[in-house]
Amino acid sequence: MSNTVSSRSTDNADLDRLEGEARLAEARAKLLTAEHVTQDGNKKTWWKDGQLNLLIIGGIVTIMGNLGVAAYNGYETRSEDRLKAVNDLDLQRETAKSDLLLSAMRINDSKAAQQNNLFFIDSGLIADPGDKLKKAVTKYFPVLPAPSGAVPSFLTLLTTRKPSGRFP
């Protein structure tokens, strides 16, 4: 019987020794975790240690992305504004050319209107690639009535008075 008791005590002693070694290993692991030391002896970096650091990194990435998008939008807005300014300038130039042509034709004399238009074309104030405008001016003699029209003089009104005493 003494063999059985001694074998049980040996088994208990081995079991107690294994439990002690397990507790010691667990304590060492807790100590290593508490000191932030990895198995190779290096300290853990700050960004591997927690959820708050991950949120900070995510916020920084988000801010950088937003800055990139804002810079791109600013660039595109400036290029659109430049294009709009160029188109507005071209529109104003064309409007000025058409106003110049119309003002040259707004006289009651077709010969003078033709001479005015030819002057603007020959002087380069109005671009005429292919001489289309010049040919049209010489062929059609464009003329428009003067903006004020012919105003009868006071003497004309007096001499053309109707018998009723009223002016025409």
For 93-156, what is the HEC assignment? HHHHHHHHHHHHHCCCCHHHHHHHHHHHHHCCCCCCHHHHHHHHHHHHCCCCCCCCCCCCCHHH
**What percentage of the chain exceeds 70 in pLDDT?**
69
pLDDT reading at 84 higher than 90: yes
Span 90-108, average pLDDT? 85
Q: Would you say residue 127 lies in a domain?
A: yes
In whole angstroms, give the CA distance from residue 133 to residue 97. 12
Catalogue the E-assigned strands of 36-75: none
Q: Would you say residue 117 lies in a domain?
A: yes
User: Which are the contacts of 108, defined by CB distance < 8 A and separation ≥ 6?
Assistant: 143, 145, 146, 150
| Residue range 107-135, pLDDT digits in tens | 777 788 888 888 888 888 888 888 888 88
3-class secondary-structure state, position 84: helix
Q: Would you say residue 38 lies in a domain?
A: no
pLDDT reading at 69 higher than 90: yes
Q: Would you say residue 16 lies in a domain?
A: no
Average pLDDT, the chain: 77
Q: Would you say residue 33 lies in a domain?
A: no
What is the DSSP code (8-state) at residue 37? Answer: B
User: How many other CB atoms sit within 10 Å of the CB of residue 167?
Assistant: 11
Query: pLDDT at position 148, please?
Result: 64
pLDDT reading at 7 higher than 90: no
Range with the lowest mean pLDDT among 37-51, 113-127, 145-159? Answer: 145-159
Tally of domains within the chain? 1
User: How many other CB atoms sit within 10 Å of the CB of residue 56?
Assistant: 13
Q: Would you say residue 13 lies in a domain?
A: no
Q: Would you say residue 81 lies in a domain?
A: yes
Q: If pLDDT is split at 50, 70 and 90, which confidence band does 151 have?
A: very low
Q: Give me the domain span that covers residue 127.
A: 46-168
Q: Would you say residue 62 lies in a domain?
A: yes
> What predicted TM-score, i.e. pTM, was given to this entire model?
0.46
